[in-house]
Chains A and B, each alone.
Chain A
Amino acid sequence: MNEQDEILEKQIGGEYKYGWSSDIEMDTAPKGLSEEIVRFISKKKNEPEWLLEFRLKAYRNWLKMEEPKHWAHLDYPKIDFQNIIYYAAPKARKELKSLDEVDPELLRTFEKLGISLEEQKRLSGVESRIAVDAVIDSVSVKTTFKETLAEKGIIFCSFSDAVQEHPELIKRYMGSVVPSNDNYYAALNSAVFSDGSFCYIPKGVRCPMELSTYFRINAIGTGQFERTLIVADEGAYVSYLEGCTAPMRDENQLHAAIVEIVAHAKAEVKYSTVQNWYPGDVNGKGGIYNFVTKRGICFGDDAKISWTQVETGSAITWKYPSVILKGNNSVGEFYSVAVTNNMQQADTGTKMIHIGRNTRSTIVSKGISAGKSNNSYRGLVRIMKGAAGARNHSQCDSLLMGDRCGAHTFPYIEIKDKSAIVEHEATTSKIGEDQLFYCNQRGISTEKAIGLIVNGYCKEVLNQLPMEFAVEAQKLLAVSLEGSVG
Chain B
Amino acid sequence: MLSIKNLKAGIEGKEILKGIDLEIGAGEVHAIMGPNGSGKSTLSSVLAGRTDYEVTEGEVLFNGKNLLELNPEERAREGLFLAFQYPVEIPGVSTINFLKTAIAEIREYRGLPALEAKDFLKLVKEKQALVELKGSLVNRAVNEGFSGGEKKRNEVFQMAMLEPALAILDETDSGLDIDALKIVANGVNKLRSPKRSFVVITHYQRLLDYIVPDFVHVLYEGRIVKSGGKELAMELEKKGYGELA
Binding site for B on A (CB under 8 A): 2-4, 7, 429, 432, 434-435, 437-446, 448, 452-453, 455-459
Contacts and interface: CB of A to CB of B under 8 A. Distances in A.
28 contacts: A2-B51, A3-B52, A4-B51, A429-B91, A432-B88, A437-B48, A439-B102, A440-B72, A440-B76, A441-B48, A441-B72, A441-B76, A442-B76, A442-B98, A443-B162, A444-B98, A444-B101, A444-B105, A445-B105, A452-B93, A452-B101, A453-B93, A455-B92, A455-B93, A456-B94, A456-B97, A457-B91, A457-B92
Nearest to B77: A443
Interface residues of B, number: 34
B101 A448 contact: yes
Contacts of B77: 443
Contact of B88 (A4, A434, A445, A455): A434
A120 to B, nearest CB: 28
The dominant DSSP class at the A interface is helix
B76 A435 contact: no
A463 B79 CA distance: 35
A443 B90 contact: no
B97 A452 contact: yes
Given A435-B90, A448-B101, A456-B92, 9 more contacts: A4-B51, A437-B50, A438-B87, A440-B71, A440-B76, A441-B72, A442-B162, A444-B101, A448-B105
Contact of B84 (A7, A438, A445, A456): A438
B87 A443 contact: no
Nearest to B84: A438
**Which of the listed residues A439, A448, A458 has the most CB atoms from chain B within 10 Å of its own CB?**
A439
B73 A440 contact: yes
Closest 9 pairs (CB-CB, A-B):
A456-B92, A440-B72, A443-B76, A456-B93, A442-B102, A443-B106, A434-B88, A440-B73, A443-B77
A432 B89 CA distance: 10
B90 A456 contact: yes
B52 to A, nearest CB: 7
Contact of B109 (A432, A440, A443): A443
Given A453-B93, A456-B141, A440 B49 contact: yes
B216 interface: no
A445 B106 CA distance: 10
B158 interface: yes
Interface in B54-100: 71-73, 75-77, 81-82, 84, 87-94, 97-99
A3 B106 CA distance: 25
B92 A459 contact: yes
Contacts of A458: 92
Contacts of A442: 76, 98-99, 102, 158, 162
Nearest to B142: A438
Contacts of A443: 73, 76-77, 102-103, 105-106, 109, 162
Contacts of B109: 443
Nearest to A456: B92
A211 to B, nearest CB: 31
Contacts of A446: 73
Contacts of B90: 435, 438-439, 452-453, 456
Contacts of B89: 435
B51 to A, nearest CB: 5
